[in-house]
Structure formats: structure tokens, C-alpha cells
């Protein structure tokens, strides 16, 4: 007599074991996949920065300045225009979302509610020079200014570089550009409106006069500038709360330097100088010097530059140091003041 063998299914324990093994494999593989994906984004970001660096050098070969100067940089503007918009307006697309501040709303585009056409893609100086035809549908050209990991400024009350109302929104969306230029400057303002800009970074300097270009920052991901210390408080060390860059690396973000090179850069503590060194360097204010391990923002020993405001006004504002101390002595002047 033939026996018919019936096939039994998996037991509950066997199914649980299989599910546990699959879950374990997923938990092992997912972080690796995420890291590989972020590595690709970091490489794309660095490629963007190198391409922008090449474009700025071509621009400088004709106009002398590495950082193109937007027309609004030489006019009286509202607080958040000179505090954040100008840092990004040297290039990029028209913004697709509104920039919200404690003073109101701005759309950095030529159409839409709260439109500010002066900041549209058609008015950004590097675009005018490097793109033969600027069109919002030309995504390939505008993507050059987008970091694929752009998450905007971190949402934290200690952020002083951006309005609290717009934290956490991609810079590419609200400012048209993921990359912030190094516009370290002294600004005089009246009632929140700018009346003068004096630069002591690469901004406004003729490329032929810049020293130490291999470690002088031209532009980069904006979180780097937060991680080296807050502007309004004079904090000289990285804020322990704001230590993660866009590419999920503690205290590291991608930066473009004045020589055209781009690399991940650690936001180290700003290098201190003793009083005797300052005396020898003939520096008007030690806070104007900003540098760390492998990076610097200040242009010393290259003199500073008057971006906006008459030389007579600046002489009055600065006083005795105007003719004797860096960055004011032998200063450069951008255009007619």
C-alpha cells in the first residue's frame, strides 16, 4: 500500500527566525546604503563647487573680482538683504519659495507674490557672464547652484545668519543658491538699513592682490560659517549644538577656495593671536582676522575694500585707524564711491 506524504508548512518559530534574520540583514545594509548615497551627494556637491570656481576665475579674468558683485550690494538695503540675500545673490536661479523674515516676505524672483525682480536669475552677475541664455526651464544650468544635500540653515534659536522664520528650508528654494559667498565685512547701518560695506575677505578684492589663495575661502555650504562661530555674539569656537554639516559629518562641510580647489573642510576653532602679534601685524581689530586649521576668511595682508559708501564717510566712521591699520590702510575701492 502506497503512503502519501504530506508536506508540512513552516512552523511559527521557523517563520519568526526567518523574519528576524531578514530584519537583521536590513539593519546592517541600510546604513551602508545611506552612507553610499550621501557619498554620491557629497561628490556631486564638490563637482558643483569646482565648476563654479572655474566660472569665477573666468569672470575674474575679465572683471578682476572672484566674487561677482550684485548691483544691490552697492545700495542701501534692508537688514536681511545685506545679512543673508547678498551672500547668495552673486549667482543662482530665481527662488521658488518665499523668504520669510521678521520684517516681512521676499520672493527673489521676477514673478509671484512678494516678487523682488532685482534678485532674479536674470540679474545675478555670474549668470549674466557665464550663461548665454538664462531661462528658468534650463534646469541643467541652474542645478549647478544646488547642493543635493541642501537642508537649509539648522532649526535652532542660536542661528544668527538667517531669519528664524526661514530655518530648515533649502537655501536653493528660498535664496536660489545653496552656496554662500565669503562676504566677511564691516557694515554701517541706520535703523536696520545698510549705508556702507567694507570688506576684509576675498569679496571686492582684485584677484591679482590676493595672497594665500589655496586656503582662503571663496564660498561654501553655509553651515560651515555657522560652525566656526556665531557672528553677532563674537563666539570664537564652534557651537556644540551646530556641529553637523549637510553631508552628515560632524564639523565638516564642503568649501571652495580662491585658487579654485574644493574640499571637505573641518570647522576648527578660530586661531588666536597674542597682543604682540597684533601689534606687529598692525591690525585695527583682532575680530577682523578669522582663520583656523587649513582655512581662512580674512584677506590679510591684502588691504580691505570699500564696497559701498563714500571714502569720506568711511574715514569719519573709522577714525584714526583709517590710514594706519589693516584692513583700512591702502584700501581698494570698488567702482566710484
Comparing 37-41, 88-92, 184-188, the range with the smallest average pLDDT is 37-41
Mean pLDDT of the chain: 86
Phi/psi at 154 (5° precision): -60, 145
List pLDDT tens digits, range 123-152.
999 988 777 555 555 545 688 999 999 999
What local confidence, expressed as pLDDT, does residue 280 receive? Answer: 85
What does residue 141 show for φ and ψ, rounded to 5 degrees? Answer: -70, -45
Report in angstroms the alpha-carbon separations of 45 from 38, 39, 42, 128: 10, 10, 5, 22
Share of the chain above pLDDT 90, in %: 57
Average pLDDT of span 79-90: 95
Question: Which has the closest alpha carbon to 146: 66, 246, 292?
Answer: 246
Residue 27: pLDDT over 90: no
Question: 87 with 183: CB under 8 angstroms?
Answer: yes
pLDDT for position 111:
87
- Among all chains, which residue has been given the C-alpha cell 576648527? 268
**Cα–Cα dist 52/94, whole Å:** 17
Please report, for residues 171, 218, 269, 271, the alpha-carbon distance to residue 256 in angstroms, rounded to integers and kept in the order given: 17, 6, 19, 20
H helical segments located in 123-242: 125-130, 139-142, 171-174, 222-227
Report the DSSP beta bridge partners of residue 266: 252
Helix (H) / strand (E) containing 275: helix 275-281
Q: Which helix (H) or strand (E) holds 198?
A: strand 193-199
Task: Cell numbers for 61, please give them.
Answer: 579674468
User: What span, in angstroms and rounded, lies between the C-alpha atoms of 261 and 273?
Assistant: 27
User: In terms of C-beta density within 10 A (0-12 exposed, 13-18 middle, 19 or more buried), how is residue 226 classed?
Assistant: buried
Q: In terms of pLDDT, which residue wins out, 225 or 271?
A: 225
Q: How high is the pLDDT of residue 307?
A: 94
Q: What is the pLDDT of residues 236-259, one digit of tens each?
A: 555 555 678 899 888 899 999 999
145, with CB counted inside 10 A (0-12, 13-18, 19+), is: buried
Cα–Cα distance, 211 to 293 (Å, whole number):
17
For residue 226, is the peptide bond before it cis, meaning its omega torsion is within 30 degrees of 0? no
Give residue 293's pLDDT: 87
pLDDT value for 45: 96
- pLDDT at residue 167 greater than cutoff 80: yes
pLDDT at 269: 72
Please say whether the beta carbons of 94 and 112 come within 8 A. no
- Residue 190, pLDDT > 80, answer yes
**CA atoms of 316 and 54, how far apart (whole Å):** 39
Amino acid at each position: 500500500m502506497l503512503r502519501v506524504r504530506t508536506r508540512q508548512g513552516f512552523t511559527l518559530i521557523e517563520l519568526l527566525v526567518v523574519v528576524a534574520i531578514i530584519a537583521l540583514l536590513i539593519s546592517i545594509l541600510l546604513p551602508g546604503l545611506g552612507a553610499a548615497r550621501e557619498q554620491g551627494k557629497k561628490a556631486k556637491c564638490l563637482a558643483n563647487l569646482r565648476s563654479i570656481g572655474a566660472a569665477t576665475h573666468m569672470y575674474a579674468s575679465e572683471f578682476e573680482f572672484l566674487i561677482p558683485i550684485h548691483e544691490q550690494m552697492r545700495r542701501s538695503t534692508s537688514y536681511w538683504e545685506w545679512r543673508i540675500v547678498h551672500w547668495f545673490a552673486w549667482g543662482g536661479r530665481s527662488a521658488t519659495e518665499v523668504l520669510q523674515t521678521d520684517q516681512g516676505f521676499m520672493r527673489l524672483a521676477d514673478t509671484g507674490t512678494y516678487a523682488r525682480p532685482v534678485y532674479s536669475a536674470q540679474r545675478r552677475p555670474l549668470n549674466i557672464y557665464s550663461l548665454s541664455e538664462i531661462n528658468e526651464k534650463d534646469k541643467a544650468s541652474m542645478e549647478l547652484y544646488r547642493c543635493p544635500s541642501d537642508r537649509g540653515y539648522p532649526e535652532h534659536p542660536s542661528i544668527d545668519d538667517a531669519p528664524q522664520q526661514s530655518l530648515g528650508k533649502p537655501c536653493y528654494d528660498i535664496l536660489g543658491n545653496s552656496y554662500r559667498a565669503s562676504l566677511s565685512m564691516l557694515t554701517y547701518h541706520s535703523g536696520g538699513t545698510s549705508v556702507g560695506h567694507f570688506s576684509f575677505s576675498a569679496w571686492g578684492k582684485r584677484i591679482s592682490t590676493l595672497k594665500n589663495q589655496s586656503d582662503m575661502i571663496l564660498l561654501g555650504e553655509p553651515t560651515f560659517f555657522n560652525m566656526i562661530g556665531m557672528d553677532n555674539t563674537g563666539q570664537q569656537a564652534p557651537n556644540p549644538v551646530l556641529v553637523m554639516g549637510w553631508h552628515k559629518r560632524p564639523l565638516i562641510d564642503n568649501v571652495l577656495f580662491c585658487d579654485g580647489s574644493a574640499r571637505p573642510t573641518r570647522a576648527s576653532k578660530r586661531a588666536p593671536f597674542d597682543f604682540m602679534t597684533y601689534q606687529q601685524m598692525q591690525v585695527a581689530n583682532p575680530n577682523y582676522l578669522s582663520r583656523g586649521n587649513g582655512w581662512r576668511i580674512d584677506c590679510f595682508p591684502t588691504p580691505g575694500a570699500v564696497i559701498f559708501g563714500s571714502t569720506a564717510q568711511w574715514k569719519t566712521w573709522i577714525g584714526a585707524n583709517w590710514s594706519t591699520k589693516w584692513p583700512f590702510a591702502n584700501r581698494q575701492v570698488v567702482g566710484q564711491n
